[in-house]
Structure 1
Amino acid sequence: MQRLADFWRYGVLKTWRKAVAATMSPVYAALHRSTDRDPGVFVSRYGVKMTGNWRDRTFRYCMFATYGNDLADILAAQDRDFQFIDIGANQGLYSLLAGMNPRCRRIVAFEPVPATFAMLRGNIAINNLADRANLHKLAIAAEAGRTVIKVNQAHSGTASLADQSSYAVSEEVTIQTINAPVLDQILSTEWPGIVKIDVEGLEQQVITELARARSFHAVSGIFYEIDERWSDATAIRSQLERAGFRNFRRYGRGHHYDVYAQR
């Protein structure tokens, strides 16, 4: 039964949502006269406002709820004060969804690509979350410094520091990276932390730096993406188990899926 449910949820519904996003996005953009000069503000099917960016597939997926409700439901269900740590925030969908929950006391978001970071900052502002948001134009890596990230302007969600030949690259952008010592200056232990990691193959490295930070003991849950073409799911799970995480729930099917790990 679980396999059938997963096939329906992640095979049929998600494929249908992708088709709707591809078909309807040009219509929405034309009807609302969205342009570079005046991109407009749109309400996504998740219920949050986002600045128009119709040429970007990631934005279209946000608008038409292509990503499903797995993490959205987890964030909505939090019934005690928490902080949301969004690593690889992109344009901020999950930071915005966390902010819809009044128990979210603080949002800490990391997005290193300057153009995408500008969208994130704008979306935080139009959803009136600036007073709770701590935004950083940074990536988390093994070493602090500067490096180059590969970016696809038509699909901002595929920006990656990893060597992934399956992704199209339209430009390379120099970004700033930080590691555990700087994280210690940013993260708080005042509230339990829910972490989302979407870094296109660098999950294990990011978790290593999080685990080195003194604030890591306050993290109660980590929602992370796995693509078995470049992620080692077994190694990441072992890494988290050593850090005290005991409950692991998988969302999705095939080689590309998400996992929610809890202590």
Structure 2
Amino acid sequence: MIVEMKNSRTRAIKYRFRRLVQTPQAFTNWPGLLVGMAREEVAEGPEILTFHARTGQTISIPNAPGARVPVYEVFAEDCYDLRWFLGDLIDRPLHILDVGAHVGTFSTHLTSIHPGATADCFEPSPDTFQFLKSNIEVNGNADRITPHQKALAGETGFAIFDLQGAGSGHNHLAFDDRVDGSGVRVETVAFDEVVASARGPVELIKMDCEGGEYDLVYKSSKESWANVKRLVLEYHTMPGESWEELRAWFASVGLHVLRDERSKIAGTAWLSRTPLRDPEGHGPRSALSKVAYNVRRVSQTPKAFSNWPALLTGLVTAKVGTGPKELTFASRSGQKITSPNTPGARLPAYEQYAEEGYRLEWFLQAYAGQAINAFDVGAHVGTFACHLAEVAPQARITCFEPSAATVSYLQRNIDQNGLSDRVSVVEAALAGETGFALFEDHGGASVHNGLKEAHPVDDPHSAGASVKVATLSFDDAIAKAAGPVTLVKLDCEGGEYQLAYNSKPESWADVERVVLEYHDV
């Protein structure tokens, strides 16, 4: 788990406020919990806290911040989004591995959702393991969840385990025999052995082993992953290791990233053999996360857009089928972006103006007023191009967008922002070759439109209607450009691989900056 560090007064206040709100929402015995946590901060609290979740589970843990975090992540924040992630696995027997099981919150929650699930839990910390065993028994799961006081690792044997405190989420296998806390000798078992001896095919794995994921995975055989259909893991920044390389390894065994949430030192990724679909077409969202999404939009809209009352009205009425067909977003900086009033079309306006998804002011610092000749590949309705032209008045941008319906909005937004002398449009998909290709059109200027042959594995949406569109190779586009191209933005829904691999290295010679969205294809 990612343990939140209270390293500033402002963050500490936000942290306490969030816990103050979450505790009554998630736990029936919230008064005692709040008192116990408050007393712990002045060294007078109980040594153990027992959480009674409103969903019916009971979890006991050491009364310490690092031990409490996973209880809130699972029962208050639904951090694993399990109902979505289980998908079609919910309808049949399922065996899982819980690697870095801690006190058992993940397996306890999963078995409550999936009545046919069984689990093997691996937790090497002596103190934490006792809480894991107790929580399994208290929740009546002794016949479904088997605890193992071992670390799942690259090899079977023994290792030094670095203990950071009672039930701490920072406990981990010592790296290069360096111990920051107190070291204890623990038993390890190789992934291949566990899979071979499991009570059934292992189809879902949760992995949270504080940096041990690289050794565990790279020393396993690819055959051992043949039955695994879902994997959710926390990955960490480690010397000599790369999440991108680990992600590629998983892709080589057929597990592709559906969702990737990163922080500076760690991230959480959800991987699957097949796309997962939300019935409303919004991708990976539980009921809880849908509420959070709507709350975020309500908060962002007044901050980012001057015409926020009309926008919020349009967003709400669209949900009941009576909203306007289009929305025009008037940014606080003075730009206007018009798009269809559908989630897939509205998204870039929020990413650009409410979330500063591309961080353009930072990204463009190296140009320091120099001329910029940019390619916007997958320009959609023009949010990136218009914002780039605003942030960098010296920039000239060529937009590539193959969807005729989306191009009409793109040109309209260029014109209404007075940028027709600096931003041009090519109605084609920038691709591996010049010619024609089939394009998946989901309608309504959807951001999920893309080349049919490059449909991403991480796209939860069904294939759209196939339309024939013109394509242009990167090399040909560079040759036709009015001057050296120094900046490229790529967002072409899986088409980035063919575009790049079929281009010549010399075509990239003048490019100083690339910002891209990449997909597993």
TM-score tier by shorter-chain length is 0.7 to 0.9
Counterpart of 2:253 in structure 1 is: 243
Aligned mates of 2:182, 2:218 — CA distance in 1:
28
Distance 1:14 1:34, change over 3 A: closer
Aligned mates of 2:12, 2:38 — CA distance in 1:
25
The amino acid that maps onto 1:27 is V
Counterpart of 2:107 in structure 1 is: 95
Counterpart of 1:176 in structure 2 is: 187
Candidates 87, 109, 126, aligned match of 2:121: 109
Counterpart of 1:8 in structure 2 is: none
Counterpart of 2:209 in structure 1 is: 199
SS of 1:205 mapped into structure 2: helix
Decide whether the 8 Å contact of 1:48 with 1:97 is kept in 2. Answer: yes
Counterpart of 2:228 in structure 1 is: 219
Q: TM-score, normalised by structure 1?
A: 0.77
State the Cα distance separating 1:155 from its structure 2 match. Answer: 5.8
Q: How many residue pairs get matched?
A: 246
Decide whether the 8 Å contact of 2:104 with 2:136 is kept in 1. Answer: yes
The amino acid that maps onto 2:148 is H
Q: Deviation per CA, 1:87-116, whole angstroms, max 9, x where unpaired?
A: 001111101111112344211110011111
Candidates 52, 57, 62, aligned match of 1:53: 62
Aligned mates of 1:29, 1:246 — CA distance in 2:
40
Candidates 136, 140, 144, aligned match of 2:152: 140
Decide whether the 8 Å contact of 1:193 with 1:220 is kept in 2. Answer: yes
Quick check: 108-117 or 133-142, which moved more? 133-142
The amino acid that maps onto 2:101 is A
Distance 1:141 1:49, change over 3 A: same
SS of 2:229 mapped into structure 1: strand
Distance 1:147 1:40, change over 3 A: same
Aligned mates of 1:253, 1:45 — CA distance in 2:
30
Larger Rg: 2
The amino acid that maps onto 1:226 is Y
Decide whether the 8 Å contact of 2:60 with 2:131 is kept in 1. Answer: yes
Aligned mates of 1:17, 1:45 — CA distance in 2:
22
- The one of the two structures with greater contact order (alpha-carbon pairs below 8 A, sep at least 6) is 1
Distance 1:169 1:21, change over 3 A: farther
State the Cα distance separating 1:172 from its structure 2 match. Answer: 0.9
1:130 partnered with 2:172: no
Distance 1:89 1:52, change over 3 A: closer
Counterpart of 1:7 in structure 2 is: none
State the Cα distance separating 1:185 from its structure 2 match. Answer: 4.3
State the Cα distance separating 1:17 from its structure 2 match. Answer: 4.7
Candidates 164, 187, 191, aligned match of 2:198: 187
The amino acid that maps onto 2:113 is N
Candidates 42, 55, 75, aligned match of 2:51: 42
State the Cα distance separating 1:145 from its structure 2 match. Answer: 1.2
Counterpart of 1:69 in structure 2 is: 78
Decide whether the 8 Å contact of 1:222 with 1:261 is kept in 2. Answer: yes
Counterpart of 1:28 in structure 2 is: 36
Aligned mates of 1:103, 1:15 — CA distance in 2:
39
State the Cα distance separating 1:62 from its structure 2 match. Answer: 3.1
Q: Structure 2: give runs of 5+ residues left out of the alignment.
A: 1-9, 24-32, 274-521
Aligned mates of 2:168, 2:98 — CA distance in 1:
16
Aligned mates of 2:51, 2:112 — CA distance in 1:
16
Quick check: 128-137 or 59-68, which moved more? 59-68
Decide whether the 8 Å contact of 2:261 with 2:267 is kept in 1. Answer: yes
Q: Structure 1: give runs of 5+ residues left out of the alignment.
A: 1-11
Aligned mates of 1:18, 1:161 — CA distance in 2:
30
Counterpart of 2:479 in structure 1 is: none
Aligned mates of 2:209, 2:12 — CA distance in 1:
21
The amino acid that maps onto 1:197 is M
State the Cα distance separating 1:35 from its structure 2 match. Answer: 3.9
Decide whether the 8 Å contact of 2:119 with 2:145 is kept in 1. Answer: yes
Counterpart of 1:261 in structure 2 is: 271
Q: Deviation per CA, 1:13-61, whole angstroms, max 9, x where unpaired?
A: 9994566449986623578x9745xx46322477531114212x23321
The amino acid that maps onto 1:28 is G
Decide whether the 8 Å contact of 1:88 with 1:109 is kept in 2. Answer: yes
Q: TM-score, normalised by structure 2?
A: 0.42
Quick check: 70-79 or 218-227, which moved more? 70-79
Aligned mates of 1:124, 1:160 — CA distance in 2:
22
Distance 1:96 1:115, change over 3 A: same
Candidates 79, 100, 103, aligned match of 2:90: 79
Aligned mates of 1:226, 1:101 — CA distance in 2:
25
State the Cα distance separating 1:209 from its structure 2 match. Answer: 4.6
